Amino acid sequence: MLWVGGMDVIAGRISGGELAAFVFYSLIVGSAFGTLSEVIGELQRAAGAAERIAELLRADNIIQPPADGLVSLPARVRGDLELDGLRFSYPSRPDRFAIDGLSLSIRAGETLALVGPSGAGKSTLYDLLLRFYDPQQGRILLDGVALTQLDPLDLRRCFALVSQSPALFYGSIEENIRYGNPEATLAQVQEAAKIAYAHEFIEQMPERYQTHLGDAGLGLSGGQRQRLAIARALLVDAPILLLDEATSALDAQSEHLIQQALPSLMKNRTTLVIAHRLATVKNADRIAVMDQGRLVAVGTHQQLIASNPLYARLAALQFSDG
C-alpha cells in the first residue's frame, strides 16, 4: 500500500496528505475488523452463560414445604438443634458420603466449634441445616420439629450466616446492611455497624452510608466486607448463628476487630463456628471434631488435646500455643 501510494505521490496523482489520510483510515478500519473476532467470542460466551442461567431458572426446586403436616415456627425459636443419624452425599458424587452417620445435640445458646481437615463435611453440615439439601438418611430437629415439616423460608429466617466470602451487592452501604432486615431504620443500621466496628470506616467513606459499592463489595478490603456482613447478621437478629471461617483470610488488624465484634453477635444465640482460629475455638462451649464426614470427638479444647490425636495434630499445626 505504501509502495503504490508513494509512486502515485511521485507521479502527482495524489498528494502526500491524501496518502497519509488513507493510511490512517486504513489502520482504523483494520483495527475495528480485528476486534470483531473478540466481540464475537464475547457474544458466544454470553450466550452460553445465558443458556445456563435459563436452565437454572427452569429447574424445579425439590426443597418445598410439605403438602401435609406443615408446622409453623413461633416468632422466635429457642435454638435447640438435634442431628440424628445423618447420612448425605452430593448428587455429583452419590458413592461418597459427605456426612456419614453424624449424630449431635446442640443446646440453645451454646457455642459449638466445628474443627477438622478440609473435606471433613463442616460446610456441608451448614447446607443441611439451612435445608439447601435434605439428607438421604436421618433427620434434623429444630426445637423438636423436623426440618422437613417446615416451610424453608420459615426455617431460614431463624439463621444468620457470616461466611468467609460475604455476599455484598452493587448498591449503597446502607442497602447492603439493611438487606438483612429491609424494615430497619437508618438508626438501627448505624447501631449494627457500630457494634460490628464498621461505623468508623463507613464515616470516612465519601458519602458515608450512601457510598455505592461495586459488585461483591468492590472497593472495600476483606476486613471491611466482613464487618459489613457482621452488621447485617446483627440486623437479622436470628436466634441461630452460623460462622463459616469468618476470619480466616484477614490480616491481623482486621481479625482483631472482627474478634472484638463477634461476642456481641454471638450473645444469647445458638452459634456454630467453622474456624481454625485459636481464640474462637478455645472460647467455644464445646468443640466437635469431624473427619471424612464422621463425628470423631466432642469436648473442650483441653479435653480434646489430651484425648483426640486428630485434634491434637490439628492444634499443633494451626494453634500457636497448642
**Tens-digit pLDDT profile for residues 5-64:** 667 667 777 777 776 777 777 777 777 777 777 788 888 888 988 988 898 888 777 888
Do 260 and 85 meet the contact criterion of CB atoms below 8 Å apart? Answer: no
In Å, how far are 100, 161, 219, 278, 280 from 290, measured between CA atoms? 10, 20, 37, 17, 17
3-class secondary structure, 292: coil
What pLDDT is recorded for position 151? 92
Give the residue from 279, 303, 304, 277 showing the smallest Cα distance to 290. Answer: 304
Q: What is the mean predicted confidence (pLDDT) over 148-170?
A: 86
Distance of CA 231 to the CA centre of its chain: 15
Residue 253 grid coordinates: 488488624
| Mean pLDDT within 283-301 | 88
Buried b (16+ CB within 10 A) or exposed e, 110-136: bbbbbbbeeebbbbbbbebbbbebebe
Q: What is the pLDDT of residue 57?
A: 85
Q: What is the pLDDT of residue 322?
A: 41
- Cell 470516612 locates to 204
pLDDT digits (tens, 9 = 90+) for 57-96: 887 778 888 888 888 889 889 989 999 999 999 988 888 8
C-alpha cell at 128: 443441611
- 209-247, pLDDT tens digit by residue? 888 887 766 777 777 888 888 888 888 888 998 988 766
The pLDDT value given to residue 202: 86
In whole angstroms, what is the distance from residue 151 CA to residue 128 CA? 14
